[in-house]
């Protein structure tokens, strides 16, 4: 990873609440312009970590840097944060609250008004500009909350469970918006426990459980580090090789293919070579990547 490309650097961060350690010795980097998946079960320490990044709380140990700067009121203005549990002022008009949230991020009223109009248009909510929150449906207010996090044109966007409670149409809408921001070279941290969405959107991931990092890196690296000992094979012949216990730990027969789990220290390339040498006709030989979901379940259960 190139140094200049790092937006956020978290180094050896620990946070305790009384006797309880919420985050322990956590380190990771978020690359500029990438979508970073922050994964973990509920209570793993995701929200605590995010609160330290946005400057709500400070770490007890370790350091956090955004664009090479320690977290401070200035770095707060570069972050757009959409918390998991979020709300709007009930009795205030939509554009008034959006203006207020923008002002708190240091945006002038004129600029804020332009952006409010742009985003309301973009989200098909222009007609609701002068309505109050109580008049909105749940999906609409979530879109408004999303708008409030991007009004100050932040370089880093932190979305904590952004799709919870959204219907599929609105989920697509939000995914498009995220993709658009990514195209503008914004960095996006995306916290979720929905592995399918993470798999679809993220370039890099980190998985934390019980306050500690379990695994991290680019999506590809993570999957490969998991998937290298599982092979899907469709072949004819080469039967003797498949009996070799030094190569193969386990074979699961499927309708027209076999799932082969390699023995420890065995190499897939050697298996392939031996099969060919033994005259097997191979129509499929694939190193299978486990889904993020599989990794998640195994890692979280295994610890």
Partner 1 sequence: MKKFLAVVKHEYKKIVLKWSFLLVTLLFPVLSAAFAVVPALLFSIKSEPTRIALVDETKRIAPRIRENLALEKTPSEEKQPTAEELVKNSTATSPDEQMKRAAEQFGATFNVVEYDAAAKSLDQIKRELTGKIIGKELDAYLIVPSDYEAENAKFEFFSRKAGDYVANSQLERAINGAVRSQRLADANISEDRLKDLSRNVDFTKTAISEKGDEKNTEGVFIASFVISMMLYITLMIYGQQIMSAVVEEKETRIAEILFSSAKPFELMMGKLVGVGLAGLTQLAIWITSALLLVGVGLANLSAAGVNISVPDITPLTVVYFFIFFLLGFFIYATIYALIGSMVTTVQEGGQFALLPIMFLVAGFIISTNIVRDPNSSLAFWASIAPFLAPITMPVRILAETPPFWQIALSILLNGATIGFLVWLAARVYRVGMLMYGKRATIPEVFKWIRQK
Residues that bind partner 1 (CB under 8 A): 18, 51, 54-56, 73, 76-77, 79, 81, 83, 85-90, 92, 100-101, 103-106, 148
CB of 64 to partner 1, least distance (A): 14
Closest to partner 1 by CB, 34 or 51: 51
Closest to partner 1 by CB, 190 or 226: 190
CB of 50 to partner 1, least distance (A): 9
Closest to partner 1 by CB, 95 or 226: 95
CB of 81 to partner 1, least distance (A): 5
Closest to partner 1 by CB, 113 or 289: 113
CB of 104 to partner 1, least distance (A): 4
Closest to partner 1 by CB, 38 or 226: 38
User: 197: which residues sit within 8 A by CB, 6+ positions away?
Assistant: 163, 171, 175
Closest to partner 1 by CB, 73 or 168: 73
CB of 56 to partner 1, least distance (A): 5
DSSP string across the chain: --GGGEEEEEEEEEEEETTEEEEEEEEEEEETT-EEEEE--TTSSHHHHHHHHTTSS--SEEEEEETTEES-HHHHTTEEEE-SS----TTSBHHHHHHHHHHHTT--HHHHHHHHHHHHHHTT-GGGTTSBGGGS-HHHHHHHHHHHHHTT--SEEEEESTTTT--HHHHHHHHHHHHHHHHTT-EEEEEES-HHHHHHH-SEEEEEETTEEEEEEEHHHHHHHHHTTEEEEEEES-HHHHT-TTTEEEEEE-SS-EEEEEPTT--HHHHHHHHHHTT-EEEEEEEPPPPHHHHHHHHHHH-
Closest to partner 1 by CB, 74 or 221: 74
Token pair, residue 253, equals 């027969």
CB of 101 to partner 1, least distance (A): 7
CB of 46 to partner 1, least distance (A): 14
């Amino acid at each position: 990873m190139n140094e200049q490309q790092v937006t956020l650097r978290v180094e050896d961060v620990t946070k305790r609440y009384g006797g309880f350690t919420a985050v322990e010795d956590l380190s990771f980097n978020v690359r500029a312009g990438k979508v970073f998946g922050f994964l973990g079960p509920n209570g793993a320490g995701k929200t605590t970590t995010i609160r330290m990044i946005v400057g709500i709380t400070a770490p007890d140990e370790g350091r956090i840097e955004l664009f090479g700067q320690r977290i401070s009121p200035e770095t707060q203005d570069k972050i757009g944060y959409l918390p998991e549990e979020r709300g709007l002022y009930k009795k205030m008009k939509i554009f008034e609250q959006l203006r207020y949230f923008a002002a708190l991020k240091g945006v002038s009223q004129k600029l804020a008004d332009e952006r409010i109009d742009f985003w309301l248009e973009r989200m098909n909510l222009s007609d609701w500009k002068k309505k109050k929150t109580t008049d909105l449906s749940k999906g609409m207010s979530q879109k408004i909350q999303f708008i409030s996090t991007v009004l100050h044109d932040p370089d880093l966007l932190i979305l904590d469970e952004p799709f919870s409670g959204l219907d599929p149409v609105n989920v697509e809408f939000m995914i498009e918006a995220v993709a658009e921001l990514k195209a503008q070279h914004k960095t996006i941290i995306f916290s979720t426990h929905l592995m399918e969405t993470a798999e679809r959107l993220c370039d890099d991931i980190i998985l934390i459980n019980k306050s500690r990092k379990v695994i991290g890196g680019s999506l590809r690296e993570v999957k490969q580090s998991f998937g290298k000992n599982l092979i899907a094979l469709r072949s004819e012949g080469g039967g003797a090789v498949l009996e070799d216990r030094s190569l193969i730990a386990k074979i699961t027969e499927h309708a027209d293919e076999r799932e082969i789990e390699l023995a420890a220290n065995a190499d897939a390339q050697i298996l392939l070579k031996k099969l060919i040498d033994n005259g097997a006709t191979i129509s499929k030989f694939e190193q299978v990547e486990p889904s993020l979901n599989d990794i998640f379940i195994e890692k979280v259960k295994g610890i």
